Structure 1
Amino acid sequence: MTTPHWDPAQYLRFADERTRPLHDLLARVPVDPLSPPATILDIGCGPGNSTAVLRERWPEARITGVDNSPEMLSMARAEGEPTADYLLADALGYDPAPAAPDLIVSNALLQWIDGHLALLPRWTAALRPGGSLALQVPGNFDAPSHTLLRDLTRSTRWQDALGGLSAGAGVHEPSVYLDTLAGAGCSVDVWETTYSTLLPGPDPVLAWTRGTALRPVLTLLTDPADRRAFLADYGALLRDAYPAGPHGTVFPFRRIFAVATTRR
């Protein structure tokens, strides 16, 4: 899969909307109020917006953000959550066991990693007894925002320029995460939510995808003229699929959540 070049500022244009699922996820993490998590790993911390939420919720914890993007980590250190520790590492090869975490959080990361189900038993095994793994991923890969993008990259006009672009890792249905985490010996809470998000301004779905799904495409299209042409083609398709209404553009945003807790 193409390793995308990340733009932290573009990603954070919709920071509130992107962070809302994390709040819902953390609300379901079982925590003893007399013994809150002391060591937390934020794997795939990005620009630190998720790390800041963790700091607000558990101000005394030792929090380490892990990400493979120097650009994202630079913003995380400067503006996201400067009091946390940060580590440049790829989630696929990262071993959380030495940290002995009470809580591992993975916020909108696993959809980028092929074979990510194999990571989950390894991550839960690294937890201290009674610790939790909390993850959430997008569940909208069959939505027009993604199907139109895949079709366009494979079209006659763009297949040569984007021939090195894979379909991406994607995600599984909630039942698969439930089975995988239960098989790792955890008690598991899995659910899904579709947020009806109202996006303002012109071409807001294009602006949204420029922060996430479009990153591999924009990484491959190094010629500015090609970028402009592709964005014009994709933007026109999105305007038809997500017409603007009197109050903005409605963008359904499906997410899949899982919280797995180890035995004490």
Structure 2
Amino acid sequence: MPTPTWDPDQYLRFATERTRPLHDLLAHVPTLPHEPAPTVLDIGCGPGNSTAALRRRWPAAHLTGIDNSPQMLDTARTTGEPTADYLLADAATYDPTPAAPDAIVSNATLQWIDGHLRLLTHWAAALPPGGVIALQVPGNFDAPSHTILTELRRSPRWRDHLGDDTPAGVHPPADYLHALTTAGCSADVWETTYSTLLTGPDPVLEWVKGTALRPVLARLTDPAQQDAFLTEYGALLRRAYPAGPHGTVFPFRRIFAVGTRR
């Protein structure tokens, strides 16, 4: 599948809702080596909203955001967290060892990487004793927002344009527990479903336009095709997520893991 072009403005339309799981993740991170000025990596930093949250947690940290999207990094450097350093790199191949991090944080990134459990062993090896891996990923790949998208891509109208390959996805929570423990960490793993109230026209469609739809839209280079696909997908989403008196309830399941190097 073509590399998606990320749209920071679209992603940040729901910045508060997208960042809330990160705050809950950071609440479980213990004191790091070299506090109050630890070295912290934000792998998959996007437009810098996650990096800004890390800065609030560790005001004196040596903080570096890593992302493979120049558009996202441009926003991160200007309005996300301008005091951090940034690096254009692919999370799947980036080597954190030279940075000597006290913590590696990954917010809603690993679901895009095949075989990402193997990365946890590599990342743990870069940490000192007491160093931390903290990650959260979506756990809603079986939700209508995703299953409808997969079915639509495989439909006769769209399969020749879109194929049926899907993002890498995630693993059950127990797999993250096992991977971190095997990597030499004590692990704390849990999951949460947020009942998120979205408002405005087609709010679930607007939500997925910032994430799951990006690779799909990258394949539909004809604007007329994009409009037709979004019209069809949006109608299906309205049926799956009907609007209520106060907005549309969107269940937002997340999987969290914190590993502390023994």
Taking structure 1 as the reference length, what is the TM-score of the superposition?
0.97
Pairwise CA RMSD of aligned residues? 1.2
Letter in 2 for 1:258: A
The equivalent residue for 2:95 is 95
Alpha-carbon distance between aligned partners in 2 of 1:44 and 1:82, rounded to the nearest angstrom: 16
Structure-to-structure mapping, 1:55-204, within 5 angstroms: 55-163=55-163, 166-204=165-203
1:31–1:37: 8 Å Cα contact kept in structure 2? no
Partner of 1:245: 244
Q: Tell me, in whole angstroms, the C-alpha distance in 1 between the residues paired with 2:236 and 2:4.
A: 23
Alignment of structure 1 residues 5-44 onto 2, 5 Å: 5-31=5-31, 35-36=35-36, 38-44=38-44
Q: Which runs of 4+ in 1 moved over 4 A?
A: none
Measure, in 2, the Cα distance between the counterparts of 1:36 and 1:250.
40
Letter in 1 for 2:49: N
Distance 2:157 2:209 in 1: 20
Deviation at 1:2, TM superposition (A): 3.6
Query: What's the offset of the Cα at 1:129?
Result: 1.5
Q: How many residues align?
A: 262
- Tell me, in whole angstroms, the C-alpha distance in 2 between the residues paired with 1:100 and 1:34: 11
Query: How far off is 1:34 after superposition?
Result: 8.5
Shift of 1:166: 1.5
The unaligned stretches of length 5 or more in structure 2 are none
Separation of aligned partners in 2, 1:218 and 1:95: 30
Paired amino acid for 2:39: T
> How far is the alpha carbon of 1:32 from its aligned partner?
5.8
Tell me what 2:53 maps to: 53
CA distance in 1, matches of 2:135, 2:4: 21
Tell me, yes or no, if the aligned pair for 2:140 and 2:254 is still in contact at 8 Å: yes
The corresponding residue for 1:207 is 206
Q: 2:162 aligns to what SS in structure 1?
A: coil
Return the letter of the residue paired with 1:42: D
Q: Deviations over 1:220-260 (max 9, x none)?
A: 10101000000000000000000000000000000000000
**Counterpart-to-counterpart distance in 2, 1:61 and 1:114:** 30
CA deviation profile, 1:53-78 (whole Å, cap 9, x unmatched): 01111110000000000000000001
1:260 equivalent in structure 2: 259
TM-score normalised to the size of structure 2? Answer: 0.98
Rounded to whole Å, the distance in 2 between the matches of 1:151 and 1:175 is 28
